[in-house]
């Protein structure tokens, strides 16, 4: 009788799995402690690092005792999770043309992750003759395994990979200011992180703060900044924490960005060319979410344009969409573990508190739930909230897809309020 445990002699698959897992652990340690982002305290990511270490050691322990099917599953899970992080470093090296920080261990971890993914596919074939089975049993097992792998990939591995990616965004070069009106500036967040940006002085005593999309850096808001500067407004656009040239850890869902906005508002209030009572904010996607949160609590924002707000917690998902909740739950849980931050109060609960501050919600049609989500926000918001839907526009691209009308509506919104 043949044993179900593969490679009883030289256990090569165990060696490969252990080496791949060790590469992932080494990179996690490098990323969280040794080459952590500027301004990040050494203990900020220790809970996530501890969870990763415990899970990795448990996986290695179980792998040695597991049969072929369980080994293939473990290699798939560890490989998929590791490649989600390592791929960000591969892209950073490709984009920047150089290596910095934890890129070396990240690239090594990505290479090992690819090997683990390949091994997960090969193991069942290399050991497929270990057990005798009828043709019916063989095909039943194949169908069940295929369905299980597809379900795990769709509802666990993919969401977890998205969560890891949103907390490990690589820094992109920000380039030069759009024109001579914009000067380089720095200011500090509420937590003391040094943030970098550009500022164009005001010609009308009013100013508009630009808050970026999930990518975080100032480059996403350049077109919007130029638009408002052309109409005489002072404009501040900056790199959110952990992106561009700013200190801190990135978070594509914007958790913690409210501290950045607090520092930006302090900066604008101190400008001699700005009337502190005439400061507005324009946010894109994640930036729109965060501006809604801040405007509900900070009356220094006298007007807000939220372009492309979506969801930042499970409570923001419209009723009757259980599939979205199933997909988003592991994403948000991963982001919370990796970042040490939490989503805060749901936007659907906060948006009513924005009033009496004038709020313009802009919702495009390229992302399925965007219009539905913003309609829900508009329904519960105060009387000073307006909703503008653009079914044929792309997410946060109305400034290009509907250029003339976008300029008219956005500028009018700020002129009326500021």
Q: What percent of the chain has pLDDT over 90?
A: 58
Residue 149 lies in a domain: yes
Q: Same structural domain for residues 133 and 246? A: no
Q: Same structural domain for residues 158 and 239? A: no
Q: Is the CB of residue 194 less than 8 Å from the CB of residue 247?
A: yes
> Taking every pair of C-alpha atoms in the chain, what is the biggest distance, in angstroms?
87
* 278-287: pLDDT as tens digits: 999 999 999 9
Q: Same structural domain for residues 139 and 187? A: no
C-alpha 283/C-alpha 299 separation (Å) is 16
Residue 6 lies in a domain: no
Q: Same structural domain for residues 161 and 191? A: no
pLDDT interval class at 341 (50, 70, 90): confident
Residue 297 lies in a domain: yes
| CATH for 317 | 3.40.50.1820
Q: Same structural domain for residues 187 and 93? A: no
pLDDT given for residue 1 in this prediction = 38
Nearest one of 176, 184, 186, 238 to 208, comparing CA atoms:
238
Residue 88 lies in a domain: yes
Residue 173 lies in a domain: no
Helices 158-166 and 68-96 cross at an angle (nearest 10°) of: 30
Average pLDDT value for residue range 403-414? 98
Q: Same structural domain for residues 241 and 151? A: no
User: What integer best gives the mean pLDDT of the chain?
Assistant: 89
Average pLDDT value for residue range 138-162? 74
Burial grade of 176 (CB within 10 A; 0-12, 13-18, 19 or more): exposed
- CB neighbours of residue 409 within 10 Å: 16
Q: Is the pLDDT of residue 6 over 60?
A: no
Residue 176 lies in a domain: no
- Token code pair at residue 302: 């006298």
Q: Is the CB of residue 29 less than 8 Å from the CB of residue 153?
A: no
Q: What are phi and psi of 390, to 5 degrees?
A: -130, 85
Q: Are strands 234-238 and 194-200 parallel, antiparallel or unpaired?
A: antiparallel
Q: Same structural domain for residues 278 and 145? A: no
C-alpha 77/C-alpha 386 separation (Å) is 45
Q: Is the pLDDT of residue 41 over 80?
A: yes
Q: Is the pLDDT of residue 20 over 80?
A: yes
Please identify, among 140, 166, 192, the residue that sits at the C-terminal boundary of a domain: 166
Enumerate the β-bridge partners of residue 188: 194
Q: Same structural domain for residues 39 and 92? A: yes
Q: Is the pLDDT of residue 7 over 50?
A: no
Please identify, among 137, 166, 195, the residue that sits at the C-terminal boundary of a domain: 166
Q: Is the pLDDT of residue 17 over 90?
A: yes
C-alpha 396/C-alpha 196 separation (Å) is 23
pLDDT given for residue 185 in this prediction = 98
Beta-carbon contacts of 143 under 8 Å, excluding residues fewer than 6 positions away, are none
Q: What is the pTM of this model?
A: 0.84
pLDDT given for residue 132 in this prediction = 59
Tally of domains within the chain: 2
Instruction: For residue 40, give its domain range.
Output: 12-166
User: Which residue pairs, CB below 8 angstroms and at least 24 apart, start in 203-206?
Assistant: 203/232, 203/233, 203/234, 204/231, 204/232, 204/233, 205/273, 205/274, 205/275, 205/278, 206/232, 206/233, 206/234, 206/274, 206/275, 206/278, 206/279, 206/280, 206/414, 206/418
* 101-114: pLDDT as tens digits: 888 999 999 999 89
pLDDT given for residue 2 in this prediction = 40
Q: What are phi and psi of 335, to 5 degrees?
A: -60, -40
Q: Is the CB of residue 189 less than 8 Å from the CB of residue 363?
A: no
Distance of CA 383 to CAs 79, 122, 355, 359, Å?
A: 50, 61, 7, 9
């Amino acid at each position: 009788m043949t044993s179900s445990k593969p490679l009883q002699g030289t256990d090569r698959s165990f060696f490969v799995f252990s080496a791949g897992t060790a590469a992932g652990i080494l990179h996690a340690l490098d990323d969280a402690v040794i080459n952590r982002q500027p301004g990040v305290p050494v203990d900020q990511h220790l809970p996530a690092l501890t969870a990763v270490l415990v899970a990795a050691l448990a996986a290695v322990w179980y792998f040695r005792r597991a049969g072929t099917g369980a080994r293939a599953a473990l290699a798939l899970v560890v490989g998929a999770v590791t490649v989600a992080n390592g791929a960000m470093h591969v892209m950073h090296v490709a984009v920047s043309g150089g290596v910095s920080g934890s890129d070396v261990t990240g690239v090594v971890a990505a290479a090992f992750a690819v090997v683990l993914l390949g091994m997960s596919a090969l193991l069942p074939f290399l050991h497929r003759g270990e057990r005798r089975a009828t043709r019916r049993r063989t095909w039943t097992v194949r169908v069940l395994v295929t369905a299980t792998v597809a379900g795990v990939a769709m509802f666990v591995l993919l969401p977890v990979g998205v969560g890891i990616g949103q907390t490990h965004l690589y820094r992109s070069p920000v380039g030069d200011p759009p024109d001579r009106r914009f000067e380089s500036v720095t200011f500090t967040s509420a937590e003391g992180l040094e943030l970098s940006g550009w500022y164009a002085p005001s010609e009308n005593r009013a100013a508009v703060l630009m808050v970026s999309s999930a990518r975080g850096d100032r480059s996403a808001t350049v077109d919007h900044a130029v638009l408002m500067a052309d109409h005489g407004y002072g404009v501040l656009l900056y790199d959110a924490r952990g992106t561009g040239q700013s200190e801190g850890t990135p978070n594509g869902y914007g958790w913690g960005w409210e501290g950045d906005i607090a520092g930006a508002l302090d900066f604008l209030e101190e400008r001699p060319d700005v009337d502190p009572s005439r400061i507005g904010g324009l946010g894109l996607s994640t930036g729109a979410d965060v501006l809604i949160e801040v405007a509900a609590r900070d009356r220094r924002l006298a007007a807000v344009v939220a372009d492309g707000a979506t969801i930042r917690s499970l409570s923001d998902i419209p009723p009757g969409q259980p599939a979205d909740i199933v997909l988003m739950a592991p994403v948000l849980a991963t982001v919370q573990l990796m970042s040490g931050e939490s989503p805060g109060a749901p936007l659907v609960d906060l948006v009513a508190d924005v009033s009496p501050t004038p709020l313009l919600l802009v919702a495009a049609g390229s992302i399925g739930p965007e219009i539905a989500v913003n309609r829900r926000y508009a329904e519960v918001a105060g009387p000073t909230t307006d909703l503008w839907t653009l079914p044929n526009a792309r997410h946060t691209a109305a400034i290009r897809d509907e250029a003339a009308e976008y300029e008219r509506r956005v500028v009018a919104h700020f002129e009326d309020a500021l």
